[in-house]
Amino acid sequence: MDLRLDGKVALVTGGSRGIGRAIGTRFAEAGARVMLVSRKAEALAEAASSMAGLDGEVDWRAANAGDPDAAEECVAATVERFGSVDILVNNAATNPYYGPLIDIDLSAAEKTVRVNQQAVLTWTQCAWRASMAAGGGNVINVSSVGALSVEPGIGWYNVTKAAVAHLTRQLAGELGPGVRVNALAPGLVKTDFARALWERGEERVAARLPLRRLGLPDDVATAALFLASEAASWLTGHVLVVDGGALCTASGGV
């Protein structure tokens, strides 16, 4: 399989750590020029520095993924820097609330929708107008295995990720044949973002999975590389579950 991305330009939101950073690294290894985006400049600079010497060039820009003006500016900056946006990875996410869905504060609910759901549409619109409408492209949205199950504590987060899965299908239907749109649905991955879900009970949680281990960011990044490459050229509107077999268990989810 050809998993090279030579000549391609990728923009990755939430790219300074965890899954986004791993995706940026994989893409740069495969020859893509990569623009990393997240809120904190210092973390972005460190992430980009760690990718120095890989096949693809890496740059960064600090922005809040939930800000439509920032999306427009970052996409424009990527086109100015690298010439196009061929691959967009909508990875940035937030989860300001943990608890019963019925008790969530409206401001927390709105923030989660703005970053996790609305931003997927906004950044895709910007990439479409700036580059993909004329030159084609590839959009990869990061959903969650939680979008496919019911679980306590992070119900509203999972609702927004379910919306991402449907946005993926809708956009795939509208933007083909020039643009492919797919999603990843990771299970529980060992990131700082998900630390509260795994740190105290990693062995117990892993024991419930058929593959007996939690995910690593690179497990998801490798799947993203496949979706971004020509090896997936006849794949669109698909939600690829990367969960160590969590959905095979009686409880489902993570």
Whether 68 is in a domain gets the answer yes
Whether 254 is in a domain gets the answer no
Peptide bond into 100 cis (omega under 30): no
pLDDT at 106 > cutoff 80: yes
85-94 confidence digits (pLDDT tens): 999 999 999 9
Whether 3 is in a domain gets the answer no
pLDDT confidence band for 196 (50 / 70 / 90): low
29-66 confidence digits (pLDDT tens): 999 999 999 999 999 999 999 999 999 999 999 999 99
CATH number at residue 86: 3.40.50.720
pLDDT at 253 > cutoff 50: no
pLDDT confidence band for 245 (50 / 70 / 90): confident
Whether 253 is in a domain gets the answer no
pLDDT at 254 > cutoff 50: no
Whether 250 is in a domain gets the answer no
Whether 251 is in a domain gets the answer no
pLDDT, average across residues 154-183: 97
pLDDT, average across residues 119-140: 98
pLDDT confidence band for 195 (50 / 70 / 90): low
Whether 17 is in a domain gets the answer yes
Least confident of 138-147, 200-209, 214-223, 231-240: 200-209
CA distance 63 to 36: 10
Whether 90 is in a domain gets the answer yes
Structurally, the chain folds into a number of domains equal to 1
Owning domain of residue 231: 9-244
Catalytic residues: 157
Strand order across the 33-38 sheet? 58-62, 33-38, 9-13, 87-90, 137-142, 179-186, 239-242
Is the pLDDT higher at 32 or at 210? 32
CA distance 250 to 244: 14
